[in-house]
Amino acid sequence: THVVTEQCVRCKFAECVTYCPVACFREGDTFLVIDPEECIDCGNCVEACPADAIYPEDELPPELRPALEWNARLAPLLPLATADLRPLAEADAWLGRPDKWGTLAG
Protein backbone atom coordinates (compact mmCIF):
# COMPACT_ATOMS: atom_id res chain seq x y z
CA THR A 1 0.00 0.00 0.00
CA HIS A 2 0.86 3.67 -0.14
CA VAL A 3 0.58 5.77 3.00
CA VAL A 4 -0.36 9.40 3.73
CA THR A 5 2.05 10.80 6.31
CA GLU A 6 1.81 13.77 8.61
CA GLN A 7 2.89 16.30 5.98
CA CYS A 8 -0.73 16.17 4.81
CA VAL A 9 -2.00 17.43 8.17
CA ARG A 10 -3.49 20.95 8.02
CA CYS A 11 -2.72 21.18 4.28
CA LYS A 12 -4.99 18.59 2.65
CA PHE A 13 -4.12 19.80 -0.85
CA ALA A 14 -6.28 16.97 -2.24
CA GLU A 15 -4.44 16.73 -5.56
CA CYS A 16 -3.88 13.07 -4.74
CA VAL A 17 -7.57 12.23 -5.02
CA THR A 18 -7.72 13.45 -8.60
CA TYR A 19 -4.89 11.15 -9.67
CA CYS A 20 -6.11 8.04 -7.87
CA PRO A 21 -7.67 5.48 -10.26
CA VAL A 22 -9.49 3.69 -7.44
CA ALA A 23 -11.44 4.87 -4.40
CA CYS A 24 -8.76 4.62 -1.75
CA PHE A 25 -8.61 8.10 -0.21
CA ARG A 26 -10.64 8.80 2.91
CA GLU A 27 -11.26 12.26 4.31
CA GLY A 28 -10.61 13.49 7.82
CA ASP A 29 -11.13 17.11 8.90
CA THR A 30 -7.53 18.15 8.37
CA PHE A 31 -5.89 15.31 6.42
CA LEU A 32 -6.58 12.36 4.17
CA VAL A 33 -5.61 8.74 4.64
CA ILE A 34 -5.27 5.84 2.20
CA ASP A 35 -7.32 2.69 2.69
CA PRO A 36 -4.77 -0.12 2.45
CA GLU A 37 -7.54 -2.49 1.38
CA GLU A 38 -8.23 -0.40 -1.73
CA CYS A 39 -4.82 1.00 -2.76
CA ILE A 40 -3.43 -0.72 -5.88
CA ASP A 41 0.06 0.80 -5.48
CA CYS A 42 -0.04 2.71 -8.76
CA GLY A 43 1.98 5.51 -7.17
CA ASN A 44 0.24 8.32 -9.08
CA CYS A 45 -0.50 10.22 -5.88
CA VAL A 46 3.15 10.42 -4.80
CA GLU A 47 4.08 12.86 -7.56
CA ALA A 48 0.77 14.70 -7.34
CA CYS A 49 1.11 15.77 -3.69
CA PRO A 50 2.58 19.28 -3.27
CA ALA A 51 3.50 18.43 0.33
CA ASP A 52 5.40 15.21 -0.53
CA ALA A 53 3.19 13.53 2.05
CA ILE A 54 2.71 10.14 0.38
CA TYR A 55 5.13 7.21 0.43
CA PRO A 56 5.05 3.60 -0.65
CA GLU A 57 4.99 1.49 2.51
CA ASP A 58 8.43 0.03 1.85
CA GLU A 59 10.01 3.50 1.51
CA LEU A 60 8.57 5.04 4.66
CA PRO A 61 11.29 6.70 6.73
CA PRO A 62 11.39 5.21 10.26
CA GLU A 63 10.03 8.35 11.91
CA LEU A 64 6.98 8.25 9.62
CA ARG A 65 6.13 4.57 10.13
CA PRO A 66 3.36 5.32 12.66
CA ALA A 67 1.39 6.66 9.68
CA LEU A 68 0.97 3.10 8.44
CA GLU A 69 -1.06 2.25 11.52
CA TRP A 70 -3.23 5.38 11.50
CA ASN A 71 -4.03 5.10 7.77
CA ALA A 72 -5.22 1.52 8.31
CA ARG A 73 -7.11 2.34 11.50
CA LEU A 74 -8.83 5.53 10.33
CA ALA A 75 -9.69 4.57 6.73
CA PRO A 76 -12.71 2.40 7.64
CA LEU A 77 -14.01 5.15 9.94
CA LEU A 78 -13.88 8.05 7.46
CA PRO A 79 -15.96 8.96 4.40
CA LEU A 80 -14.59 8.58 0.88
CA ALA A 81 -12.70 11.64 -0.32
CA THR A 82 -14.24 13.23 -3.40
CA ALA A 83 -12.45 14.74 -6.40
CA ASP A 84 -13.95 18.19 -5.80
CA LEU A 85 -12.09 18.73 -2.52
CA ARG A 86 -10.23 22.04 -2.18
CA PRO A 87 -7.04 22.60 -0.14
CA LEU A 88 -7.53 23.91 3.38
CA ALA A 89 -7.31 27.71 3.66
CA GLU A 90 -4.17 27.40 5.80
CA ALA A 91 -2.51 24.85 3.49
CA ASP A 92 0.36 27.04 2.32
CA ALA A 93 1.12 28.26 5.84
CA TRP A 94 1.46 24.67 7.11
CA LEU A 95 3.43 23.31 4.18
CA GLY A 96 6.57 21.53 5.37
CA ARG A 97 6.21 22.30 9.08
CA PRO A 98 7.61 19.69 11.49
CA ASP A 99 5.60 17.49 13.85
CA LYS A 100 2.21 18.28 12.35
CA TRP A 101 0.69 15.09 13.70
CA GLY A 102 1.65 16.30 17.18
CA THR A 103 -0.35 19.49 16.67
CA LEU A 104 -3.54 17.44 16.41
CA ALA A 105 -3.16 15.67 19.73
CA GLY A 106 -4.69 17.22 22.81
**Residue 53 near ligand F3S by CB under 6 A:** yes
Q: Which helix or strand (DSSP H or E) is residue 10 part of?
A: none
Query: How many helical (H) and strand (E) elements, i.e. helices and strands, does the chain have?
Result: 4, 4
Residues 4-33 that bind ligand F3S (CB under 6 A): 4, 8, 11-16, 32
Q: Using the minimum distance from each CB to ligand F3S, give the nearer residue, 69 or 92.
A: 92
**Residue 75 near ligand F3S by CB under 6 A:** no
Q: Among 34, 15, 11, 14, which Cα is nearest to 24's? A: 34
Q: With the C-alpha atoms ordered 79, 56, 98, 62, is the resulting torsion angle positive or negative? A: positive
Q: Using the minimum distance from each CB to ligand F3S, give the nearer residue, 14 or 39.
A: 14
Residues that bind ligand F3S (CB under 6 A): 4, 8, 11-16, 32, 48-49, 51, 53-54
